[in-house]
A and B are shown apart, each in its own frame.
Chain A
């Protein structure tokens, strides 16, 4: 699986847009980029997934440049409840085989009033 690098922590304020960038220089052709969110004392929760260009859902947007060596998770108008750890994962679309997810340390996002 492609290794990912993301900032250990970030701070922002309520109402701001927050962008978290993840580097994945060794991403493979069949790899997808997925982001998870984890609140304290809870299991991770799927946020968004993409392969190239831009993906948007009701929670976030994911921007992926043409070379796919990085990606940016964008959270619009954050609130205090967005304080969490955000994980970037890169792996193949798979209909079978090993379930070998690798979670790094993630980015601890702290939102202040």
Chain B
């Protein structure tokens, strides 16, 4: 199993550009989430999904969209990038029925918005 994979690893955008961060998992996990981590901070939940076709907002959803058309993929879209979205983004997945906290994280995408 590759686990949770994320692409790209690094990305630089200009203010106002849009892009999609990709996340995929091959563990057949029902639950997937996106977090952002800013320097010296913990992780903050952006959006999550409890299954294909179902998504919901987390703590900091503004400026981001998600969709879940398949169990495996959970892309995160930045509609119009802003410097405040400069951060490291982590995708995570877990089994339904597992404890809330037993998640598997991807390696992260480091995004810089100029």
Residues of B within 8 A of A42 (CB): 105, 107-108
| Minimum C-beta distance from B111 to chain A (A) | 14
A99 and B106 contacting across the interface, CB-CB below 8 Å: no
| Minimum C-beta distance from A108 to chain B (A) | 9
- What 1/0 flags go to A88-99 for Cβ under 8 Å of B? 010111111111
A44 and B105 contacting across the interface, CB-CB below 8 Å: yes
- How many interface residues does A have (CB within 8 Å)? 28
- How many interface residues does B have (CB within 8 Å)? 31
B99 and A32 contacting across the interface, CB-CB below 8 Å: yes
Besides A43-B4, A93-B100, 9 other CB < 8 A contacts?
A: A34-B99, A42-B105, A93-B99, A96-B50, A97-B50, A101-B35, A102-B45, A102-B59, A104-B42
B residues whose Cβ falls under 8 Å from a Cβ of A = 4, 31, 33, 35, 40-45, 48, 50, 56, 58-59, 90, 92, 94, 96-97, 99-108, 110
A residues whose Cβ falls under 8 Å from a Cβ of B = 32, 34, 36, 41-46, 49, 87, 89, 91-106
Please provide the 5 A-B residue pairs with the shortest distance between their CB atoms, ordered closest to farther. A43-B105, A103-B42, A34-B101, A103-B43, A99-B48
